[in-house]
Structure 1
Amino acid sequence: MASKGFIELLRLADLAKTRSTGLQSGKGYDWRGVVFEVGDQRLVAPMGEVSEVLNMPEYTSMPMVEPWLLGLANIRGRLLPLTDLPQFLHLPNRHQKKQRKVLIIDNSTVFSGLVVDKVIGIEQFTRNQYRAETLDSDSPFAPYNHGKFVKDQQDWFVFMPSLLAKDPRYIDAAM
């Protein structure tokens, strides 16, 4: 409940922001995503691919796994593997540990936690703001990118956890 509560708090903060600007929430928006940072890159993941956002839980390390697999956390009776996303992508952690959050990916094939440097909130976009332009191929995020949104003269690159879940390097964390 507490983790779902964090998503709900983000939604309520977004609702308050839209009301204060005179916009009606849900009208005119086609896509919503969770905005987060990894290294110096700000990304947005589809709401449908992120089931929860958690504070960094306590976890138990595991032997004989890649260093980016931090360990397992017990989340309401389920064992959640925690992936340090910056370390997986060979990026430095730029934020304090207390700012780090976990994006929970829970679908039919994967139950996993992506540890990110910072979660900023929820952002809404229209179809007209979407561009099929991707990140440069040398970006560590490129294999998991699915276009971008352009809003307020800023690029919001889409990070798809479902593409990460198909990466053999991510799936096989054993050494």
Structure 2
Amino acid sequence: MARSSLREFQERLARRLAEAGDTERRGLLGFQCGSDNWLIELSEAGEILPSPPLSPVPLTRPWFRGLANVRGTLYGVVDFAAFNGQPAIAPGGRARLLLIGARHGLHSALLVSSSTGLRSHDDFEPAAAGAAPPWVARRLRDMQGREWLQLDAARLLTQPVFLDAGLD
């Protein structure tokens, strides 16, 4: 019995190590927000999870959806589609919260339409430059010809328009 358990442990360990190596190669997290495809470096992303109940905050901009309690920590939730001028995202279904900003001392979350999973840098090539907000690090194109916008979370978190959620 001990040999069987040791063998199973070694097999599980080998699988987990292989998966960890695959995760390093897949250094991007893809998500959809409204009609746009987005990417974020895994090192900039926190957790992605189903949206918990949101507590509305009065006198805020329509794109500021409220506060979410995630394991005892409050996160300000921004509807990323509405923030970017698209129709608002309905929480629930495939919508997810993408926690960002913990590295920068901010508890902020983006409400996104859905998560599209881990991606590799090798799956993309640069796309033609175009007008984009300052939080777009670069435009990319995947092998199917779809355009993706890479989010620079640090730039987003320092934008006055993002930080000023209160109504004037």
TM-score tier by shorter-chain length is 0.7 to 0.9
Paired residue type of 2:134: P
- In structure 1, the residue matched to 2:64 is 69
* 1:158 pairs with one of 131, 150, 159: 150
CA shift digits 1:133-158 (9 cap, x unpaired): 56521x4xx32111244442534331
Match of 1:170 in 2: 162
Q: What is the alpha-carbon distance in structure 1 between the residues aligned to residue 69 and residue 94 of structure 2?
A: 20
**TM-score, scaled relative to structure 2:** 0.75
Superposition deviation, residue 120 in structure 1: 0.8
- Structure 2 gap ranges (5+): 1-15
8 A contact 1:35–1:119 mirrored in 2:
yes
Unaligned 5+ runs, structure 1? 1-11, 16-23
> CA contact under 8 A between 1:130 and 1:147: conserved in structure 2?
no
Alpha-carbon spacing, 1:118–1:26, altered in 2? closer, same or farther (3 Å): closer
Q: Which amino acid aligns with 1:120?
A: T
After superposition, the Cα gap between the structure-2 partners of 1:94 and 1:65, relative to the gap in structure 1 and judged at 3 Å, is closer
Could you tell me which amino acid in structure 2 is paired with residue 50 of structure 1?
Answer: A
- How many residue pairs align between the two structures? 147
Match of 2:80 in 1: 85
RMSD across aligned positions (CA): 2.6
Deviation per CA, 1:4-47: give whole Å up to 9, x if none.
xxxxxxxx8xx5xxxxxxxx8368x4x61110111211111110
Identity of aligned residues (%): 22
What do the CA deviations read for 1:40-62 (whole angstroms, capped 9, x no partner)? Answer: 11111110111100101112111
Mapping for residues 1-175 of structure 1, pairs under 5 Å: 15=19, 25=22, 29=25, 32-93=27-88, 97-105=92-100, 106-126=102-122, 131=126, 135-137=129-131, 139=132, 142-154=133-145, 155-175=147-167
Deviation at 1:102, TM superposition (A): 0.7
Distance 1:79 1:134, change over 3 A: farther
Question: Is 1:134–1:147's contact at 8 Å kept on the other side of the alignment?
Answer: no
